[in-house]
Amino acid sequence: MMVAAWWRKDLAFLLILATALVLRLYLATTAPYIHDEENTSIPLAQKISFVPGHLHLPIRAVNHPALPAYFVKISGILFPRTPLGYRLVHVLVGLVTIVVVFRLTHQWYGPVAARWAAALLAFNEYYLAISARATSQAPYLLFVALAVYAFGRFLRTERAGYLYAAGLSASLAFYCKEHAALLLPVFFLTLLHAKYRHTLRGPHVYLACALFFLVIGPDIAWNLNADPEIARVTYGDRDVAQATYGRHLQRIGGIAFSPYPFVFYGRHAVMGLYALITGQALDDNTPEYASMNPALGVLLLGAVLMMSYRGAVRNHLRRFLLVWFWSVFGLFMLIRPGNPEGLDPVSWIWADVTLLPAVILAGAWLAGATGKLRTIAWVFSAAALLYAGAWMVAQ
């Protein structure tokens, strides 16, 4: 009854969710396949078999674990094998992630912040595009959001069960993209605060971490046993080498300033500025993915900065989100491109996991703004979101 009442009361959020669904259905129906769909997720999904005696349940795709392909497989079973049919489960996954972010923000910052966080996630160009396509990004961000939701509940209640839920969700995110493992040190750093330090003297933090490694154990075993010279996968008309952890680490060529995290928050503006300053073009290895417009990027980065310097951090979720954002953003900002064989050295979409803390913090900042600043910030944010949705539909 309480859940039903909540859904009936928040008509603004229901409108956000309904609009998000319509836009994604349109994009999933009309947008052409991109490289990762037609060369990885869809052909791999077609080879997955649940038939007894003919089981084929791969752990790895070409570059990453294969869990996203199972989402495509399920979508292809439930719906017609058309672009919309293959993508429909990803559309639903994208909506669930919006709901998770809304609920987490609502619990800590209230309904206004939650609506803004949901809108900022639902309607920015990057998330609009990836949650309407059959790639690894939508399932990855769903499991990251679930891990963060569970950890946020632990920060509020200190119930050990939420730690195990966070560890399990993080391990499922790992089966989409390996850098989900970065959540573990972020969780640990958050628990170093005086309020939670006592939890490090008990068993649950370490058992939840053990659960994470237990679940990803099959993937670790595959990597330990795979010969990078002969590990290959065949589907469709492709026979290609599979990437191990070692090959992924070759993407890192050392420590140097990288503008790629900023590219995520406004690709064309940052790449133009980079060319103006250095006289060289910045490589874009993933041009098929949409980046958000610079107005939204400035809003999100500016809100994170404002929330970082707003006096003492008494809100423990806020502290966690800031540790998460700046740890991951800072790490990717210090990676010098390597020279891996058969892999892109660096991609700006590596920073996509910072989108979740950014939209929650921005929602909280917009809800807390007052006076003329509130009016300006709200009008600016609404205009940037309207532009993002209109631009995506026009493509």
The string of pLDDT tens digits covering residues 352-394 is: 999 999 999 999 999 999 999 999 999 999 999 999 988 888 8
Residue in the block written with tokens 């806020």: 318
Within-domain flag for 135? yes
Reported as a single tens digit per residue, the pLDDT across 50-81 is 888 888 888 888 888 989 999 999 999 998 88
Q: Residue 199 burial by CB count (10 A; 0-12/13-18/19+): exposed, middle or buried?
A: middle
pLDDT value for 3: 47
Would residue 14 count as lying in a domain? no
Domain span at 76: 20-394
Q: Decide: helix, strand or coil at residue 252.
A: strand
256: tokens are 């140097």
pLDDT at 81: 86
Give this prediction's pTM: 0.93
On whether residue 102 sits in a domain, the answer given is yes
Percent of the chain with pLDDT over 70: 95
User: Which SS3 state, helix, strand or coil, does residue 60 take?
Assistant: strand
Q: What pLDDT is stored for residue 26 in this prediction?
A: 95
Number of domains in the chain: 1
Q: Is residue 11 part of a domain?
A: no
Axis-axis angle for helices 111-123, 11-30 (nearest 10): 10
What pLDDT does 1 receive? 42
Q: In the block, which residue shows the tokens 């920015």?
A: 124
In a domain, 189, yes or no: yes
**235 close to 43: Cβ distance less than 8 angstroms:** yes
Low-confidence ranges of the chain (pLDDT < 50): 1-4
3-class secondary structure, 281: coil
The dihedrals phi and psi of 240, each to the nearest 5 degrees, come to: -130, 155
pLDDT at residue 311, as a whole number? 59
Instruction: Give 359's contacts (C-beta < 8 A, 6+ positions apart).
Output: 101, 117, 120, 121, 300
User: What span, in angstroms and rounded, lies between the C-alpha atoms of 385 and 383?
Assistant: 5
- Across the chain, mean pLDDT equals 89
Assigned domain for 300 exists: yes
In a domain? residue 74: yes
| Residue 302 covered by a domain | yes
